[in-house]
Amino acid sequence: MIEEDSEHFTDDNDGARYYAEPYDKLLNDDNVYEELDPLFQDRLDYEAIGEKYEIKRDQLTIIKLINRGYYSDIHMGMLSLSSGSVTVAVKMPQLYTDTINATEREDTLRRQRRALRDELNIFVHLQSSSAGGHENVLKLIGAITTIKNDFCLLTEYCDRGSMDCFLQTKRGNSKFEDELIYETNRSGEVWKV
């Protein structure tokens, strides 16, 4: 049950009160989204996601850059666990941007971290079901959310590359062949590209 905290409750035009997630943007009377208070938003941007997913920085070793996205870089990494090491994909804000000054650079990095935080929230939501997510959907391993310069999310590593690259290479091929690989686990076979 949600405690009534005036900081997180909003009144609508009928006087009804509803809960506003701290990460939400709110619509004003002109149907324009307004950002939350910058100090409050900055605090939320580096709030831990919980013990289940928060990873300690010393458990992660970045090995190499494997891809660049619009707002993030994807690296191969090794996550050290008590049961052994696991290869992971590490998605983090781009370290080098084309911005000219420090203010622009910090603003760009802040937007990148927020985009990653939004993606992280989607991953957590997808995996919050009793089944722990779907076997054909990339799994979230964890994240580092409390350290500004190490902010990243860790997913399972797919050694065949990204889905978009796979589909682009098959685009010109009029004969598309199924090239599925599988991973065995307790419940049987899980098919992935």
- Taking a C-beta distance cutoff of 8 angstroms, is the pair 63, 86 a contact? no
Mean pLDDT for 24-38 is 49
Which tokens belong to 134? 């779907």
- Taking a C-beta distance cutoff of 8 angstroms, is the pair 124, 140 a contact? yes
Residue 16 clears pLDDT 50, i.e. is over it: no
Which tokens belong to 96? 């080098």
Domains of the chain: 9-36 (no CATH), 57-157 (3.30.200.20), 160-193 (no CATH)
Instruction: Find the DSSP H helices in the chain.
Output: 38-45, 102-126, 163-171
Residue 46 clears pLDDT 90, i.e. is over it: no
Residue 21 clears pLDDT 60, i.e. is over it: no
Q: Sorting pLDDT into bands at 50, 70 and 90, what band is 65?
A: very high
- Taking a C-beta distance cutoff of 8 angstroms, is the pair 89, 74 a contact? yes
Where do we find the tokens 């997808």? 126
**What integer pLDDT is reported at residue 102 of this predicted model?**
81
Global confidence as pTM: 0.62
Selected residue with higher pLDDT from 92 and 15: 92
Mean pLDDT for 96-108 is 75
- DSSP class of residue 31 equals S
Q: Sorting pLDDT into bands at 50, 70 and 90, what band is 60?
A: very high
Residue 35 clears pLDDT 60, i.e. is over it: no
**Helix axis angle, 38-45 relative to 102-126, nearest 10°?**
60
**What integer pLDDT is reported at residue 183 of this predicted model?**
52
Cα 188 to Cα 108, 138, 154: the distances in Å are 43, 17, 24
Contacts of 60 (CB under 8 A, 6+ apart): 77, 78, 79, 80, 88, 90, 144, 152, 154
Selected residue with higher pLDDT from 107 and 12: 107
Query: Residue 7's closest CA among 31, 39, 33?
Result: 39
**What integer pLDDT is reported at residue 37 of this predicted model?**
52
144-183: pLDDT as tens digits: 888 777 888 999 998 777 777 777 777 776 665 655 555 5
184 three-state secondary structure = strand
Q: How deeply is 171 buried, as exposed, middle or buried, from its count of CB atoms within 10 A (0-12, 13-18, 19+)?
A: exposed
